[in-house]
Structure 1
């Protein structure tokens, strides 16, 4: 049994109660009033998001601006490359060499577009890339032509977004709230860009809990990776969590993101946190892996649910066929309509070998990867690889209506190649679907949230690794890996002639043997825990004495019927009780009809 450290539980409570920043979001959103008429609602984000990032960077650099300019002058006159000195003077991993900032830009209204471009160009290269991803220069031109650039700049210059005023966690919440609202206005999928913070906190808690002792050592350095990084929420929460457990620890963050706006926000967030932004890549992780040879200690991911991968099918199939297990997709390929399991295999390929310390990762998936696909299918083969290699630690069922863009059931898979001894050969299933509280106000499809107490309870259930019931219902169950495996056997019966005699084959290997009747052919799933012969004798032979098994067609499959394991039968109410209720209703209706006829 693993004891749950108090550091983990208290950290979850503190973070889950972090105050939101609705006033700041509302203030930034009020810029939309200026844009109305010249911009469609769906385009507001093209202005508001980059300006929010710009003001954030502007505020971060403000205290050291004078020192940076002094250093620039000094090193330039000395004929030296000023960059390392500017970074040191800025006390950040970025800098700006312009004498301008958003406030001083307001002093020259007639030349604000020209001066704003000059100010942007004076940032260090990593920051310039952020605004290129936003295509911000196009919006500067458009705002200038509409006579709005000065007004919008003035609006943002009045708010203080320095980290001492608005923490990194609060800023992340602001960005997520803005993206959600813009996505709703443009009918986009907000959930593709970020994950609810309480879901991330739960995943991070569970991810780190078994390593608490190692993570509290002075100067410990660990790596974490998110292949669907969004705005960087998962990486940020992981960093905050480790800092609470051990302020001397360092978490090196890596990520990749497909959406340009989300990538830009993630990169800006990493810059302010002092992370190496060269570790954050843009592009499609599945078709163009930005970190092909890198392995990680921890990984987190919330890939898009049920999204087809037809656009990148050619590249993925080529890697599967040409590289096999030397590539990322050796176990198999899921159907093109849902690429979730491609991300699971991608993460498996990024695991540090067990001999080098191993890895652990958490991934959010919908219900489909648990059971879609019969024996021999791509999905089943992927599950088979994970279970037969003893990589699955646990699956946690989350409440419905937890995500911004969907109300469907979701599950967190915890995967590791360094399982503690008690977990070896076993999988824990945790049903946390009832652990939620109603939100005061719905956000898109999100009507429920997990509070600090729920996160702590689930963390305790995982850490304890015991079978547990609550209110008479199971909430934690433990299975051997092979409990999810089965053999699909093909049951044949003989073809018969008009007289009812068995037709025998006249040639080939089957000569003299009964010819199978394809119309009578059937399949049966036999649990791996039972021999095929015993199952066949018990379940088939009594009903079809002439049947036999075609062993050449036998396939091994794996599925995880999560809900079946937690189903509790509720007997129907007594018939007399139902009849009595119906009589009361019927009598009332008869009485009402009688009153109407009077």
Structure 2
């Protein structure tokens, strides 16, 4: 059932429908109905209750239950109903014991514990007995027999009587015994005594062999451990992973297929008295998980006899919804978090997927973690792994760059109220600046204005600063068409390269002037005809044709609204803007790869030596009309007065002539970017954003 259904708790609820009158076909099976997504939001919260089940949800849940009665055993993560066998829910809890190992040392605290023992207090002269032991403070022994012999001898020398009894001796051992992984193994009645602090409970499916698990997973790390069969328990539980409903298509598999859970533990042993304190390992906690790149930056772990899990570079470390793949050169550390060893080529995909599970239940046990469904095709794809490396490195760089910005105003060392007040004013100004700087990350129009090629960026700015409804609508339509034109120019360049020339078929497409439909047609031809583009980023246009579908929606909206009769009122235009804007914004989002392409105009190309040149010119990116100067080293010459486009990482720049040019406009005497508008009769006509035209001679003989 959904969470947040009850006043006092927000946890998810299970409803069990039990019957001992099952039909024979249903016996030995359990039907699971995944109804956690069927709820309505309450208009007003009441305690933890924020959701409720309305009539529609109740009817849907009943239909799912009825469907479950006829569902065969099995199912996929995308099914809202699945059926499992009884034995699939049964588990065995095994207990793994390790021997209790002790060394013995009489300390001041230990002597205090001895003096408070009832057996000593009831003696004739307890203060004399304790005084006899005081001379042994600071003494240590390797075995219990040596320790007890020394204690008895000291008491006898003082003329006192050492109490007897198994309970008293156990209390003495507790007072002077110190856990030590190299210490003496303790025995009781000839049987090795287990250490309760090292006891490990493991829950495993009933069908799995506990002896085989113990042999493979435990003995390699703890050769003196043993299975305590007397404490084995059987139980039944419905794992939360059984109720996972996949939002993705494709095959899913358990996390255990792609990663191994680290089960080794490092004991942080306290140093013995008189012993040099060992160098403690570095301690990786959740607060440092994303803020350090090297174990050397971590604090030392406290030597308190606790046991932590080792981790190193390349490990996947974290807990529910908060994971990080440690950098390869991270170094060694210990942690209380889960540590996974991913299979080669799957670490970043697993990290991304596990971090997307924030809305799901926390993992109460390691078994639940390893049962987490994982999308096989995405996690195992080398291309996805490479792309996610860029994504995760970008996130980390952003986190490191913003660390320390807008600090807590009271966290500094300043104590004067007037200075703190001035600091608060300064931080408030910084906050206003930060809000402006992060806008491109949140708003696709701002992002386009800041980082897309100039033609799109300038149109994005025009739309952003527009205020009147008619101006805003016109700005949206021009931004949509400008995006199509920019993509169409790239598509046309690829088609020319693919066919070896500017074919008559391509020239005919724009012979009478390029329209919105012309550019979408060229984009469609590119996706159909060009298998491997020179600019790899253009492969994104093939992804489900989403960009092309958005552009066609914008074109249809323009055609329909332009053909409307009569004068439209402002509120009607506002409605047009409200309907049109999502398509334009979605189109901009779908081509965010444009921000990683580099459009530049080469003013001159300087010779350095036989294999290196220096290209100097202007970078045509962002909306500012004063383009940014650039200088770039290359290993082959580029033609002056040409526009080139390159991808990321850099390859061989692609010459966009005669599809794009920078020229000095004879009317306004400023440099403008001109894009192809038509070609016929041995001449190409290019047009700028200011509707200025540039005509250049062009025939098939001078296409290069």
Instruction: Identify whether the pair has TM-score above 0.5, normalized to the shorter chain.
Output: no
Larger Rg: 2
Higher helix proportion (structure 1 or 2) = 1
TM-score (structure 1 length as normaliser): 0.27
Q: Which structure would you say has the larger RCO, counting Cα contacts within 8 Å and 6 or more residues apart?
A: 1
TM-score (structure 2 length as normaliser): 0.23
